[in-house]
Amino acid sequence: MNTWVEAPPRRKGQGCFARGCLIGSIFAIVLAIACFAGMYWGLYRHSALFYGSYWLAKTHSIAEAPTPVPEFSGSDQQVQRVLERWQEFEQKTRAGQPAEIELSADDINALIATTEGVRRKVFASIEGDQLHLQTSVPIGEFLGRPGYYFNGDVMVELRGAQSLDSPQFSRITINGEQVPTDLLSWKYRSRQLHEYLAEQRDTYDVGTIEVRDGKVILRSRSN
């Protein structure tokens, strides 16, 4: 019988997927931080803070209590297979070899379930070419003000395979409200958001990401 999978001892590389590849979740958290920073400290000279504040208010994404996020249930064997595939992909990318991995929604949720910090806070599903993320993330810890959560139903659609340098979006919605697809050109501390995303690419050696036919497809920079 499938039960909730307790996280095995952490392996190098597990956390990088959740932080570096679930880009919709990253953007959601960036917007949430921007919103609160804008409200509390008035840093509206940064466009990301101003626009983030506006869109999070519009989408009613901030709450004082978390919302339920679906839990992933899977067998130990299922999780282990995904971890082994991810480890092989990571080893090849770090060695500069061509590598590709296709991940179903169950695969992504298995990786999330073994990643401290996002486990039980993010749940992924894939609808055709759209990545759907349900999130309830405490954001007070980022700002030293506990008790606030980003509760978001995020839908991300990319325009084919995209580099993490500056991906092009067909559509991004948070709680049903469409977010401008040029959000990566918004600036925070005189840098555009896509520059911060490029740093994630350099750290984790992922060249492109694509959502297609119910799968997230990651390719190394050597492909």
pLDDT, one tens digit per residue, over 156-189 is: 898 899 887 777 888 888 888 888 877 778 777 7
Task: Inform me whether the pLDDT recorded for 100 exceeds 90.
Answer: yes
Structural domain of residue 140, as residue ranges? 14-220
Does the residue 114 lie in any domain?
yes
- Report which of 21, 189, 35, 175 is spatially closest to residue 108, judged by C-alpha positions: 21
Which whole number is the average pLDDT over 192-211? 74
Determine the longest span between alpha carbons in the chain, in angstroms: 54
Does the residue 1 lie in any domain?
no
Does the residue 34 lie in any domain?
yes
Identify the burial level of 217 via C-beta atoms within 10 angstroms of its C-beta, where 0-12 means exposed, 13-18 middle and 19 or more buried: middle
Does the residue 4 lie in any domain?
no
For the record, the structure tokens of 42 come out as 């008035």
Which whole number is the average pLDDT over 127-148? 80
Does the residue 21 lie in any domain?
yes
Which residue has better confidence, 128 or 190? 128
Which residue has better confidence, 63 or 4? 63
Domains in the chain: how many in total? Answer: 1
For the record, the structure tokens of 113 come out as 């379930």
Instruction: Look up the pTM and report it.
Output: 0.76
Helix boundaries (H) for 8-152: 14-20, 23-41, 47-58, 76-94, 105-113, 140-143
Does the residue 8 lie in any domain?
no
Q: What sign has the CA pseudo-torsion 124, 130, 135, 137?
A: positive
Does the residue 178 lie in any domain?
yes
Does the residue 53 lie in any domain?
yes
Side chain identity at residue 90, one-letter code = E
